[in-house]
Amino acid sequence: MTRAHNFSAGPCTLPVEVLEALQAEMVDYQGSGMSLIEMSHRGQHFDAVFEEAITLVREQYGVPNEFEILLLQGGATLQFSMVPMNLLGDGARAAYVNSGHWAKGAIADARYYGDVYVAWDGKADRYARMPITEEIKLFPNTRYLHITSNETIGGIRYFEWPEVEVPLVADMSSDYMTRPVPWSRFDLVYGGVQKNLGPAGLAMVIVRRSALDDASDQIGQYLRYSVQVDKSSMFNTPPVFAIYVLGKVLKWMKKKGGLEGIELEANRKASLLYNAIDGSDGYYDCPVTPAYRSVMNVVFRLPNENLEEQFLREASAADLVNLKGHRTVGGCRASIYNAMPIESVAVLTQFMQDFCSRNPA
């Protein structure tokens, strides 16, 4: 079977060896006579899978002991509400950086649950960059500053984390476990795993225990981080299959050199693609300020929409799939997450060069 070069923004490309391992175990998991996803989530088989996944996250991501790791249903979008529900006590307010599409979603949902304000807005720059620390304006009694570490649609990324006097909360969905995190600055990070770490349906939340000391208990039980901590993410049946795959991807990452190896390869893939864009004499254009270009989601335009449509058709015919930009911005986008082989990026850059030579503007 020939694998397509899948540049989807999510669900993501997964490592072939992980898919093959899942295939081998799907019908009969470790001689049990059934698949793992048919078993009790409180049985010994899944318990071992769950604990291994948590251990691998803590080990590879360098998560300090004062943080809890939760594996929850609902993806990152549910966290847009759970964060302010839990962290905004009486009289507290939250600051949000408006860096684009996903930050706007977080801001809109947070406003249902507390006093929320925008500490920096990227609209004037057409969301082509992230702020530097000095541009972020915080008001008194701010409980946390929420950032979106990588805007999947806009193709922008923080390369230097803000240094502010309040704890950071971050949506890291599209660059989760791709680089180190300075945990001392954070109270909570969250993200859906379907970009770098597994299939859709699972959110990983990493929260500082002390951040929950004053958390509200006037919300439904499932929505309380304290309940999820007490129940080790098993207040109800967790997303078993997604956690199962997460564990296998984490083991694959460890074999690849862990976070250090993943980050090195991510930078190599991104450099290869950005060099093709920048070396095209303007034929391909990335609208992002260079210092803030995402390493995960590379966005670019062609000279006109007709050429973009032709590019996408021909790319798909060449098994270079899911390169169309998000419907809200158009253009093209190549998502090159952890499991995307560098060989696929090389195939794409060669196609881009050939297309440019055959179709002058």
Ordered per-residue pLDDT tens for the chain, 361 residues: 689 999 999 899 999 999 999 999 989 888 888 888 877 677 678 889 999 999 999 999 999 999 999 999 988 999 999 999 999 977 789 999 999 999 999 999 999 999 999 999 999 999 999 999 999 999 999 999 999 999 999 999 999 999 999 999 999 999 999 999 999 999 999 999 999 999 999 999 999 999 998 888 889 999 999 999 999 888 888 999 999 999 999 999 999 999 999 999 999 999 999 999 999 999 999 999 999 999 999 999 999 999 999 999 999 999 999 999 988 888 999 999 999 999 999 999 999 999 999 999 7
Quick one: which of 324, 272, 273 has its CA closest to 301?
324
- Which one from 109, 120, 171, 187 is the annotated catalytic residue? 171
- Which one from 102, 109, 187, 269 is the annotated catalytic residue? 102
Report whether 145 contacts 168 (CB < 8 A).
yes
Report whether 71 contacts 231 (CB < 8 A).
no
- Which one from 175, 187, 195, 324 is the annotated catalytic residue? 195
Active site residue 171: yes
pLDDT score, position 37: 83
The pTM of the full predicted model, rounded to 2 decimals, is 0.95
pLDDT score, position 63: 98
pLDDT score, position 1: 67
pLDDT score, position 46: 86
Q: Do 16-254 and 257-358 have matching folds?
A: no
**281 Ramachandran zone, left/alpha/beta (phi>0; psi -120 to 50):** left
| Tokens, residue 1 | 């079977």
CATH of domain 16-254: 3.40.640.10
Half-sphere exposure of 84 (CA within 13 A, CB side): 24
Could you tell me where the DSSP H helices lie in the chain? 16-25, 44-61, 75-87, 101-110, 225-230, 240-255, 258-278, 305-317, 342-358
Active site residue 195: yes
pLDDT score, position 99: 97
CATH topology of domain 257-358: Aspartate Aminotransferase, domain 1 (3.90.1150)
Sequence spans of domains, the chain: 16-254, 257-358
Active site residue 252: no
pLDDT score, position 40: 66
CB proximity list for 312: less than 8 A, separation 6 or greater: 323, 324, 332
